[in-house]
Chains A and B, each alone.
Chain A
Amino acid sequence: MQHPSRLMPIRAMAWFILLVSLTTQVLGQTPTLPARTSCKQWDDTYLEYFNAFFWMILIGSCVLSLILPPLLGRFAWWATSPRWRIVWITLGMLVFGILIVVVWPQALGFGWLLYSGVGERYPDCTNVSQFGATGLLYGAVGTNIAAIALWPYMLLLFLVAALIGAVLAFVLSEVLLQRLGLYVRVKGAE
């Protein structure tokens, strides 16, 4: 009977060669891109969030700038300034939208919590051509490009939404002031 110790180096060498060759094959393998249908589905889901936040920033900036002050103004000085509070509330909405829709996916990825409906591999869809991406704002910007790749436009559109919301809030606030402000209640000369 042969002594087992004589076969050990040969076996170890054989295992090593096998491991190296398999690893080389795995690493050298070209990854497969997500399927077009998956990309389309994920892109649409992500766009839903973008669109929702776009409108939320626009309407929220306007509405919250008008309805929050009577509540917050009693506790916080910043909310007592009729113009600056519109700026602060709008800025708050804008930052919130950017954090959720732009920063989160870039920093923390997809596939969990709010983005559990978007696959982890959605960013790979930027390399998938012609999967039928709708584009931002129902096709107004970046048709056929994965929404995730359009993040600079998202920032710009959020900014535009915030500005529109703020201007609307300002105009409505002035209208309310003409009807409810102190000046209206001042009695003039008899």
Chain B
Amino acid sequence: MNKIVAIGGTGQLVLHYYLQLYLLGVITDPFEAVVVDTDDLIRSLSAGSDFLADLQYGPEHNEALGAIVPAIEWVEVSSNDYNTVADALTGGYGFSDMTRHPMQAFFNRDTLVQNLSQGLYARPALSSVISQEKLQSEALIPQNDSVLAIVSSVLGGTGGGLTAPIIAQIQSHAKEVDVTMKLRAVIFGEYFNPDQKESKIERKRIQSNQTLVLRSLREALKDVHSFYIVGGPKAQLISRDAEQEKKGEQLPWPKEASDPIWHGMQALEYLFTETKMSGTDEFEKREVEVFDDPNDLAKANTRLKQRLLTVENLIKKEAVVRMAKDPWASLIWGAGFTRLIIHFWSIAARVEGGKERVADFPTKVQQALKTLWRGKEDQLGLGKLFPQLTESHPVRPKNLSKIGWPEVSGRLRFDPDLMGGVDEIARRAAATILFRVLREGV
């Protein structure tokens, strides 16, 4: 399975959209993603990751009912044990003007007193000294004969400082466990105009990082099979809303396919699917300069509209509850959908010791659908991962019968530990329904 290593805020943002395209069935192949960031996982990815975990059915963590699904891991490289940079570098002694410590030779006072909980303020030097030991994570080990793609920017503190060490770490891991892989990279050069007041990052710092890191990347990308650079010194810059991105709640989709994040995501998909490019020692020849977008933005938008409205109808019309009260359920909703409900209902009956004890299972599934999609107070719903829809699209009940529901006849291998009680089973059933509607809805 292909692996994405998403580094820093830009890496997370690309993954945020890539995950949406996967869930909508635009991207067909499952993937593993590892987020490496000094910041927290953005809430949308956190919600997406929880949803994918709810899909687990078989013993493997990414084994859903009738499908292998992506998995998202987070390698937190920030030093949570310490408040400031100085704390992290001195092992908790902190900084005072009286302190005499080698760190003062590399970092000025302003940098040393900065709070680590708010990122690295686009200082690559910080990430490379603070985060090294955290990169030992096994999550970075690729699978044999797979493609591993790094997505990172050379602008910020995390991407700029960690891209090269992470590539080195991955290669080292791969050698240790004797794994062969194709390493590819999507590198973001200058593509956004920082809001200096909000992010406390000056543009000249970003430009300086870009120059430094792009030069060092030539060395770092030595073993990279191919790479693509998004943006760069002369690129048109977009604005970013860092706070909104951290929330990751209903971030709008780009209007143009030339949007750097969309373009980067297309580059990632291209690098995953491209098979013709042969390996070469010449660094310049490994750069992909132009490619045709594997996915069309307008088509993806149409699919987004269709699928989201189908889910909304499924929840608003309480389809599962209706189905359970209808003698003609199979004729209206299709045999596949009804069999899926019966399948999970039967598991619940077995777990709870009799079907009369789980007579309200469809109601529980319906409630779980709503909770998974709309979220709870402290939990972002999967629906918030996608942008808010402003257009309508007719959705008919027969659309649900046309979905390729997973086959549940025959002997299925489910992990009994995952089916602890009726509520948990209902949640997994709801997650499976949402996954299929999003991926295969019509």
Chain A residues with CB under 8 Å of chain B are 69-70, 73-77, 79-83, 173, 176-177, 179-183, 185-190
| Chain A residues near B338 (CB-CB < 8 A) | 182
When distances are taken between beta carbons in the complex, the residues of chain B under 8 Å from A177 are 325-327
Which of B324, B350, B354, B401 has a CB less than 8 Å from the CB of A181? B324
A70 to B313, alpha carbons, bound, how many Å? 19
Shortest Cβ distance from A189 into chain B, in angstroms? 5
Are A186 and B346 touching (Cβ within 8 A)? Answer: yes
| CB nearest to B395 among chain A residues | A77
A190: chain B residues within 8 A (beta carbon):
350
Q: Which of B325, B355, B362 lies at the interface centre, i.e. has the most chain A CB atoms within 10 A of its CB?
A: B325
Name which of B29-37, B315-323, B415-423 contacts chain A: B315-323
Any chain A CB within 8 A of the CB of B331?
A: yes
| The one of A80, A176, A183 that contacts B317, using a Cβ cutoff of 8 Å | A80
Q: Are A70 and B355 in contact (CB under 8 A)?
A: no
Q: For B322, list chain A residues within 8 Å (CB).
A: 80-82
Residue B332 at the chain A interface, CB threshold 8 Å: yes
A77 and B317 in contact (CB under 8 A), knowing A183-B355, A186-B349?
yes
Contact of A182 among B341, B353, B396, B401 (CB under 8 A): B341
Complex Cα distance, B338 from A73, in Å, reads: 15
B329 at the interface (CB under 8 A from A): yes
Among residues of A, the one whose C-beta sits closest to the C-beta of B320 is A182
Query: Is B398 engaged at the interface, CB distance under 8 Å to the other chain?
Result: yes
Contacts of B313 in A (CB 8 A): 77
**Count of A-B residue pairs with CB < 8 Å:** 91
Q: Which residue of A lies closest to B338 (CB)?
A: A182
Chain B hits for A70, CB < 8 A: 328, 331-332
* Chain B proximity of A63: nearest CB distance (Å): 14
Q: Is B342 close to A, CB under 8 A? A: yes
Q: At the interface, is chain B mostly helix, strand, loop or mixed?
A: helix
CB-based contact B324/A74 at 8 Å: no
CA distance in complex: A129, B77 (Å): 101
Q: Which residues of A contact B212 (CB under 8 A)?
A: none
Instruction: Give A86 Cβ to nearest chain B Cβ, in Å.
Output: 12
- B59 CB within 8 Å of chain A: no
A69 lies within 8 A of B350 (CB): no
List 15 A-B pairs, Cβ < 8 Å.
Answer: A69-B328, A74-B331, A74-B332, A77-B317, A79-B332, A80-B322, A80-B332, A82-B322, A82-B326, A177-B325, A180-B328, A181-B324, A181-B325, A182-B345, A188-B350
Which residues from chain A contact B323 at a C-beta distance below 8 Å?
A: 182
A185: B residues at CB distance < 8 A? 342
**Given A81-B322, A179-B327, A180-B327: A189 in contact with B397 (beta carbons within 8 A):** no
With A177-B327, A181-B329 in contact, is A189–B396 under 8 Å at CB?
A: no
State which of A76, A82, A173, A187 has its C-beta within 8 Å of the C-beta of B346.
Answer: A187
Question: Which bracket fits the contact residues of B?
Answer: 20 to 34
Chain B nearest CB from A185 CB (Å) reads: 5
Across the interface, do B332 and A176 meet the contact criterion of CB distance under 8 Å? no
Asked if A189 contacts B354 (CB within 8 A), the reply is yes
Q: Contact flags (1/0) for B391-422 with A, using CB distance below 8 Å?
A: 00000111001000000000000000000000
Report A6 CB to chain B, min CB distance, Å. Answer: 85
In the complex, the chain A residue whose C-beta lies closest to that of B328 is A70
What is the distance, in angstroms, from B218's C-beta to the closest C-beta of chain A?
59
Complex Cα spacing A76 to B329, Å: 14
At the interface, yes or no: B359 with Cβ under 8 Å from chain A?
yes
Question: A75 — which chain B residues lie within 8 A by C-beta?
Answer: 396-398
User: Which of A177, A180, A189: most chain B Cβ within 10 A?
Assistant: A189
CB distance from B343 to the nearest CB of A (A): 9
Name the residue in B326, B329, B398 with the highest tally of chain A Cβ atoms < 10 Å from its Cβ: B326
- Top 10 A-B pairs, shortest CB-CB distance: A176-B327, A73-B332, A74-B398, A70-B331, A188-B355, A187-B346, A180-B327, A177-B327, A70-B328, A82-B325
Q: Assess the B327–A188 pair: CB atoms within 8 A.
A: no
Let me know if A188 and B332 touch, CB within 8 A: no
CB of B358 to closest CB in A, whole Å: 8
Q: Give the residues in chain B near A179, CB-CB below 8 Å.
A: 327
Is the beta-carbon distance between A173 and B359 smaller than 8 angstroms? no
Contact call B349/A189, Cβ cutoff below 8 A = yes
- Contact (Cβ within 8 A) B328 A73: yes
Given contact pairs A69-B332, A80-B332, A188-B349, A183 touches B324 in the complex (Cβ within 8 A) = yes
Q: How far is the CA of A182 from the CA of B363 in the complex (A)?
A: 13
* Distance to closest chain A CB from B280 (angstroms): 56
Which residues of chain A are within 8 angstroms of B332 by Cβ–Cβ distance?
69-70, 73-74, 79-80
Q: How far is the CA of A82 from the CA of B323 in the complex (A)?
A: 8
For the complex formed, measure the closest distance between the CB of A100 and the CB atoms of chain B, giving whole angstroms: 29
With A and B bound together, what is the CA distance between A74 and B317 in angstroms?
A: 14
- Which residue in B319, B349, B359 is a CB contact (below 8 Å) of A187? B349
| CB nearest to B332 among chain A residues | A73
Minimal beta-carbon separation of A67 from chain B (angstroms): 9
- Report how far A76 CA is from B313 CA in the complex, Å: 12
Select the residue from A173, A179, A181, A186 with max chain B CB neighbours within 10 A: A186
Contact A80 to B398, CB < 8 A, known contacts A179-B327, A186-B342, A187-B346: no
A186 touches B355 (CB 8 A): yes
Q: Which residue of A lies closest to B361 (CB)?
A: A186
* Interface members, chain B 83-136 (any A CB < 8 Å): none
A181–B323 CA distance with the chains assembled, in angstroms: 8
